[in-house]
Amino acid sequence: MAINVEMPLHKARELMAPYRNAMPINNPLPEIDNEPPEPPNVLVDAVSLGGPSDAKQKPLVRHVLVKDLNKIGTRLKFEHPKNGVFSNKAPMGLYALFDGQSCAGEPGPMAAEFCARNFHMKLLKRLAELTPESSDEVAVQTALVGSFEDLDQELLANQPEVNDGCGAAVALLIGTRLFTAVLGQCSAMVGSAPEPSRFLPVLLGGRQGVVDGDFMRIRFAGGIVYGDNNVARIRHPTGAESSVSRSLGDRFWKDPQVGSGMKAPLVVCIPDVQMLSLREPDEHPFLVLAASTVAAALTPQELVDIGGEYPSQPRAACGEVATRALAARAGAAQCTAVEVCFLPPRSKFGDNKKRAPGTAGPEPAPAYPAKKARVAFAPGGGTASMRLRHIMLRYQDGPQKDGKKALRTRQEAEAVLRKALGELRADLRAAKKAPKDAMELVSVTSKKFAEICKRLSECETARKALL
């Protein structure tokens, strides 16, 4: 005889509660972080002066500035590991120059242009091949070397019309780690500031010429090395000579079928690779990449001294470097410099990021009004905004169409502005005491800047003497 005993619903719920709460479907879903990595917090620019006099000819030096390598990798569907040097969504930037003047054969633009267009692809592919178990500093350096080899192999195998070669100075920034790869007679260095207003160069490769370790290899391959140090040269079995033993391209010096009498390549593409852990921006404020002509004309100390003259002003610093180098070379070369200025890390909640609900942090900054008053005061008496003076110069690249005398070029205009900056710095150094904040800095330099504005600026405000 069966007895059917009905259990009250509330009692059944109490008995089932422990089992129901333990079921995976009832567990809270983990939070998914879909925010992409930020780009490196840097200011970067490059200036190139000189080169071919014919405007139709391609430049001999090409520079590449990839400000957010993570974004480019995502678009091209290259995914690197997320641990090791890449952990914590490390920002990634790529800065490089390829110099067709630093080569074994006759200078030319084609190898430099090919390398500038394709290097980032080779590097991203190599980084994507790294495993979570091998994503350390050595692995990244190996990837850089492999990228040079991949690029050189494709250039020689698939670009038969390219016979010239190029050197290179490449900087890969991952978080606070700076990886450099330098080839030929280009150079790379970081400006180190052991104390305010004093800068020392931290050399990261450059001015290799004929590398000491290549002597035996070159002799075995059928070449001859004569001279020493910076004047050493390689002699090809045909009698041709080279001042470098490493470059990209240079088919005649690498392919035994092209270079008669060679047993093996006389020139290789293996770069000098180094890594530097960057300290705070006031200790390591900037990086300089220099083409071979710049490295030959200016010493490393001169390069970092110029960088120190224009703090966080990479365009001005590169313009001064290129101008001085071109003058030293008597205008007979293309002089190119790249500078990367390192800035303090961004705050967790920047002005352009939305704040998560319930999260502590500043609200996004409001949009600027369409028109500002000369001075606006915030509640409590503080200054919220201020209209600033400016210097504007006209310039024009190329001749005017109406036959009139051409205006100054952009380089000439920038030289005038750099001179104005020099006047302001000299006036600031002459002050009795250094300004303690931005407001005091404006106060100290205001009179001198107003004078320069009236003298140099070509805007309507200056013409009407409203400054």
What amino acid occupies position 128? Answer: A
- Look at residue 380 and tell me whether its pLDDT is greater than 50: yes
Q: Which domains does the chain have, with CATH numbers?
A: 42-342 (3.60.40.10), 375-397+406-463 (no CATH)
Higher-pLDDT residue of 50, 259: 50
Q: What is the mean pLDDT of the chain?
A: 84
Instruction: Read off the pLDDT of residues 151-162 as tens digits, 9 standing for 90 and up.
Output: 999 999 999 999
Instruction: Please tell me the predicted confidence (pLDDT) of residue 12.
Output: 72
CA distance 187 to 339: 12
Q: Is 126 helix (H, G, I), strand (E, B) or coil?
A: helix
- Look at residue 433 and tell me whether its pLDDT is greater than 90: no
Highest mean pLDDT among 8-17, 122-131, 371-380: 122-131
Report the percent of the chain where pLDDT is more than 70. Answer: 79
Provide mean pLDDT across the span 92-101: 97
- Look at residue 357 and tell me whether its pLDDT is greater than 80: no
Provide mean pLDDT across the span 133-150: 96
Instruction: Please tell me the predicted confidence (pLDDT) of residue 351.
Output: 45
Of 158-167, 266-275, 434-443, the poorest mean pLDDT is in 434-443
Element (H, E) at 198: strand 198-206
What residues form DSSP beta bridges with 341? Answer: 43, 286
Provide mean pLDDT across the span 248-270: 87
Tokens at 371, concatenated: 């028109």
CA distance 264 to 44: 40
102-118 residues labelled b (16+ CB within 10 A) or e (exposed): bbbbebbbbbbbbbbeb
Element (H, E) at 301: helix 300-309
Q: Are 189 and 287 in contact (CB under 8 A)?
A: yes
Q: Are 174 and 276 in contact (CB under 8 A)?
A: no
Tokens at 318, concatenated: 């590169």
**Residue 212: partners with Cβ closer than 8 Å, 6 or more residues away:** none
Higher-pLDDT residue of 281, 382: 281
Say what the pTM is.
Answer: 0.82
- Look at residue 177 and tell me whether its pLDDT is greater than 70: yes
CA distance 172 to 180: 6
Higher-pLDDT residue of 62, 214: 62
Alpha-carbon torsion angle 399, 403, 405, 407, nearest 10: -40
CA distance 72 to 291: 25
Instruction: Please tell me the predicted confidence (pLDDT) of residue 366.
Output: 41
CA distance 229 to 241: 16
| 217 CB-contact burial (10 Å; exposed 0-12 / middle 13-18 / buried 19+) | middle
